[in-house]
Structure 1
């Protein structure tokens, strides 16, 4: 199954009453519980990000019908609501933390909603959730200079290592954006694999630093979730998202060129 197409589910907040900043990319606790039950009912086998990448890297076979359950940013509801549902099914998952957004000594105050603290992160790790990196302050990494990029990655890696006793090996790009320069820096900071967005199924051919995910939103109903798990109509479901992403990529590229030109003139 080295050529398998694997659904990597991307969650953010799990909350009954999210604020406006996180509402669209949140799911209710009830919906999350139903989605985990759907995974179990279909006989899918959840893996961590590191587990999938290690199997693809070594050529070891994948389990039957693999799926990844991932969370970005580090919202408090992952501990309060998602963890009991995961534990009830014995499912592993991966949480990608923006270390400057979590409550505690490193808090930059930028978290857009109620965030986890480090005690909760450690409890998630003890329960079988892989803790990955998601930068320190959640910038668009391909829009910042080399010094800031290194600082974001190094700070994130070192904070996680200090809190959990081991450095993270998996990374997710904030907003899903990366570039060859960003991917190289992620690799040089010790991350062995990284996830983008892309809203399509993951394949080994994408490479370990550009594995794609599908977004689970508040508006994802049971029928659409089933299609995501089965890999049916994923391209059509996210066609508008990809078109918008491509258009925004052009705008962002123009911004980069303009900043470089201004810097050269200065």
Structure 2
């Protein structure tokens, strides 16, 4: 059974002084991407994992949440430069707006920006529509969020693979809500559900609705990043 790290990124900035928490500097991001390239890592889209039962030894999945404009400006060119695949998770209601679930400081990509991205490098996935905590929503509210996502996808001709990154990594964890939530995921044809967890995954996944991601922080040193890549989030962190 292989071990598969799924890395989670958010904002990207050219300002090294803003490399903190959810924002990583372009210098650090390029250092990490160069490391993948020079050390022969293989990157995968979730669509490529659906029917696989084995992976090469150095396999990773790169993910970016929120499709902020800064990702379009800074992450997309670096992915292209190093020939790396990634999955970008879209909060559909906010396309062309700002990240209003935070402070509204970051612009969200427009439809034209999404359409300009090379699909052979970047696959789109779901990040809900309204970016709310699933555990705080009723089943009906969760279904309405799915319905809104589908309306926006259809209206704009977007190609989106049914992998869902839970906003805030949040989902119902207690029964019976957990089982009902997973039934809703199946009803809406979701193939993979992503939480945080900060651990490498065993592959094939034991539960495709509880795929763990490793949170890459802007303040992480390169050593800390490589340790996370190899071991997940250690207690000493």
TM bucket normalised to smaller: 0.7 to 0.9
Q: Distance in 1 between matches of 2:77 and 2:139?
A: 40
The structure with the larger Rg is 1
Once residues 136 and 237 of structure 1 are traced to their aligned partners in structure 2, the CA distance between those partners, rounded to angstroms, is: 36
Counterpart of 1:8 in structure 2 is 6
Alpha-carbon separation, structure 2, partners of 1:92 and 1:168 = 14
Structure 2 residue aligned with 1:137, among 115, 125, 130? 130
Q: Which has the higher contact order (CA 8 A, sep 6+)?
A: 2
More strand by share: 2
Partner of 2:224: 224
Indicate conservation of the 8 Å contact 1:45/1:67, yes or no: yes
Flag as ranges the 4+ runs of structure 1 deviating above 6 A.
Answer: none
Return the alpha-carbon distance in structure 2 between the equivalents of residues 194 and 161 of structure 1. Answer: 21
Give a deviation string over 1:212-241, Cα, whole Å, max 9, x none. Answer: 010011111111111122x23633255xxx
CA distance in 2, matches of 1:225, 1:164: 37
Number of residue-to-residue matches in the alignment: 228
SS in structure 1 at match of 2:63? strand
Residue 154 in 1 paired to residue 176 in 2?
no
1:54-89 CA deviation, whole Å, 9 max, x = no partner? 31xxx2x21331101100111111110011110111
Secondary structure of 2:32's counterpart equals helix
The runs of 5 or more residues in structure 2 that have no matched partner are 173-177
| Change in 2 beyond 3 A, CA 1:220/1:149 | same
Aligned to 2:30: 33
CA deviation string 1:87-112 (max 9, x = no partner): 111111000111112206xx895563
TM-score by length of 1: 0.77
Deviates more, 1:61-70 or 1:122-131: 122-131
Q: Does residue 50 of structure 2 align to residue 53 of structure 1?
A: yes
3-state SS of 2:93 partner: coil
Which blocks of at least 5 consecutive residues in structure 1 are unaligned? 239-266
Q: Give the structure 2 partner of residue 208 of structure 1.
A: 208
Residue number in structure 1 paired with 2:175: none
Cα pair 1:100 1:108 within 8 Å, conserved = no
Inter-partner Cα distance in structure 2 for 1:186 and 1:34: 36
More helix by share: 1
Residue 84 of structure 1 corresponds to which residue in structure 2?
77
Structure 2 match to 1:254:
none
